[in-house]
Amino acid sequence: MSSSDTENGVSFEIDSETELILENLDRFIEQEIRPLEADLDDVLENPRVGHEDNGRLTDDYLAAIETVRKKSADAGFYAMNMPAEVGGSGVSNVTWYRAITHVFSKGLGLNEHVLAGPEGPKPLLLLADEDQRETYVEPVVRGEKSTAFAQTEPVAGSDSPAMETTAEKDGDEWILNGQKQWITNAPYADFAQVFARTTPQEEAGRYGGITCFIVERDKWELGSFNNTPAAVGMQAELRFDDVRLPADRVLGDVGKAFYAAMDFLSLGRLELGAQAVGLADYVLDRATEYAREREAFDRPIGDFQQISSQIARGRAKQYAADSSGLRCAWKMDQDESVVEDTSIFKWFATQTYWEAADSAVQIHGGNGLSEDYGFMEHLNYARLLRIVEGTDELQLNTIAKQHGLLESQ
């Protein structure tokens, strides 16, 4: 393990297995991903080319993403953090963390889809029974199907227990009604993990009475695309109108899905923070290169303290964020509680990426605003990361509660 128990405490040395994975990822990206990106050059360079009028990804763009996912799964990378019994490799959280930061240190592009994101398998799916694993989980691990985590609603974002989607028992079936919003991969998912209240709060309590259902694509109505500058075509609304589901579509225990979802969110926050660490490294590298080459007043702009200090502050924070992420991943591998740790890491890492992207724009001046340089895409994506998987404010509230504050909430 990259960061594990030793006689002297925690080691941050990259172990040989992880180092080999990172080297193989480099080769995979160069040999399999870069040629696909070259074929999609206009699509990746101009965000308007790769989308239809409503925001949906064009067929060629979507096909490229699916190709990356399948090739990565075949190579053993895509869901390597999942247990071997469902087709993964069972790598440690530390190795998974290092892999994500490494892949995203190469910037934004098709490499974003090499490792499983919200469309891929997560711990919640490990609650699946044998038949569900064969039908849903294993195909997602193999990159043959994709999924969506459908919890957020128009009236319930950070306050997810306030969800209004319901499922009522009718004989051997459940009748699902409601609406979900901002659901990543909703337009393309083969099935969704849909959260619904099956027992009123008055009876089950705030966090009880919520059940997760496996809902196949032909059972929902796709609403409008929730297009944002950083994720055009990737999020949409799902609507359920008297959808009948057999009892075998319940994932896990009836009424206990909220608690199971918290495990997903902890890993999700580690993964998004890892993305932020890798992307901060990328934009800071680009800004440093530009500061060395760009001249003003007869010298490189990096010789001006106002420029060099922006990069130095970004480097210091990226270093600290990376250290925080490794600590989080290590504690997860030790089966220790990471409620506070993942909130600290997700908040700090995404803030660091946001500030680094903003500095990169500023250092590049007018060029930083141009689509030709791509830094505004990073600024938009950094802004998105500060909201999904728990807003900045929610992370800070979680940290405060771990220290006995906000007890009235």
Domain boundaries, the chain: 5-121, 147-251, 259-401
**SS3 category, 147:** strand
pLDDT digits over 244-303, tens only?
A: 999 999 999 999 999 888 777 889 999 999 999 999 999 999 999 999 999 999 999 999
- Averaged confidence pLDDT in the chain: 94
Q: Which of 93, 101, 11 is nearest to 319 (CA)?
A: 101
CA angle 43, 105, 91 (to 5 degrees): 110
Residue 409 pLDDT: 63
Residue 2 pLDDT: 45
In the annotation, is 237 catalytic?
no
DSSP of 212-253: EEEEEGGGSEEEEE---TTSTTTEEEEEEEEEEEEGGGEESS
Residue 157 pLDDT: 85
- Annotated active-site residue in 371, 389, 393, 407: 389
Which segments of the chain have a pLDDT < 50? 1-8
CATH class of 5-121: mainly alpha
Structure tokens at 99: 């892999």
Burial 265-291 (b: 16+ CB within 10 A, else e): bbbbbbbbbbbbbbbbbbbbebbbebb
Q: Under CATH, what is the fold of the domain 147-251?
A: Butyryl-CoA Dehydrogenase, subunit A; domain 2 (2.40.110)
One-letter amino acid of 409? Q
Give percent of the chain above pLDDT 90: 86
Answer whether 325's CB lies under 8 Å from 270's CB: yes
Pairing relationship of beta strands 210-216 and 221-225 according to DSSP bridges: unpaired
What H or E segment, with its residue span, contains residue 5?
strand 5-6
CATH class of 259-401: mainly alpha
